[in-house]
Amino acid sequence: MSDRADGDADGIRVVSPVKRFLIVDLDDTLVDTRAVAGLRQQRRWREAVGGVNRTVIFPGVDSLVAGLGQHKVPWAVVTTSVSFYADGVLAHHGLRPGVRVAYHDAKPKPAPDAILLALSRLGATAADAIGVGDSATDLEAYRAAGVAAVGAAWSPLFTPGEWDVLASAPVDLLRLLGAAVGPPPGTAT
């Protein structure tokens, strides 16, 4: 893939060229859903939705979402969970992506179909986006779709692999989006 990461002085790697769209996984990337993982694995979705109050948004996700909104960066959530569960988790945590693609919307990850559908709904190409996730399934889907793959190293369930970039905190994604969000706060323009 031509969009390999380059290091910078701060230790945060920047994806080149500039990306203008964000696709992100839901469970254990945006939101720590380990409290309902057993229910999800057993496909007891209604009970899992009933337990969303036991899930926790990862520190920094609120700042990420605020930054995306401030800089008008379109973003999507792509999940292997069913839609009503995903909608329940997103609503509970006040997360409002422009696009949500769930299990029944397209062939699920690791196939690229859900990523490609999100790109289409965002009006983006693979070259315009970064994809963020915590699992090998996410990595495989982003690779198959031709999207730069960013590992959510903040997740306790993060799976190491051949990610293009590792982000140690959700707000690092704003830096990875580079010029799409402008210079970092406090820097001269």
In a domain, 189, yes or no: no
pLDDT at 16 over 70: no
In a domain, 3, yes or no: no
Burial class (CB in 10 A: 0-12, 13-18, 19+), 2: exposed
d(CA 29, CA 141): 15
Coil vs helix vs strand at 105: helix
Q: pLDDT tens across 59-91, in order? A: 999 999 999 999 999 999 999 999 999 999 999
Show the domain range for 71: 16-180
Q: pLDDT tens across 144-185, in order? A: 999 999 999 999 999 999 999 999 999 999 988 874 445 544
In a domain, 185, yes or no: no
d(CA 7, CA 127): 20
Q: Out of 128-132, 134-138, 143-147, 183-187, pick the least confident.
A: 183-187
Average pLDDT over residues 130-140: 98
The mean pLDDT value of the chain amounts to 88
Q: Taking the complete model, does pTM exceed 0.85, yes or no?
A: yes
**CATH value at residue 112:** 3.40.50.1000
In a domain, 100, yes or no: yes
CB environment 125-162: b (16+ within 10 A), e (fewer): ebebbbbbbbbebbbbbbbebbbbbbbbebbeebeeee
In a domain, 22, yes or no: yes
pLDDT at 106 over 90: yes
Burial class (CB in 10 A: 0-12, 13-18, 19+), 177: buried
In a domain, 149, yes or no: yes
d(CA 127, CA 74): 14
Helical spans, DSSP H, in 30-159? 37-41, 45-50, 61-70, 83-92, 113-122, 136-145
DSSP 66-85: HHHHHTT--EEEE-SS-HHH
Q: Look at the chain and report how many structural domains it folds into.
A: 1
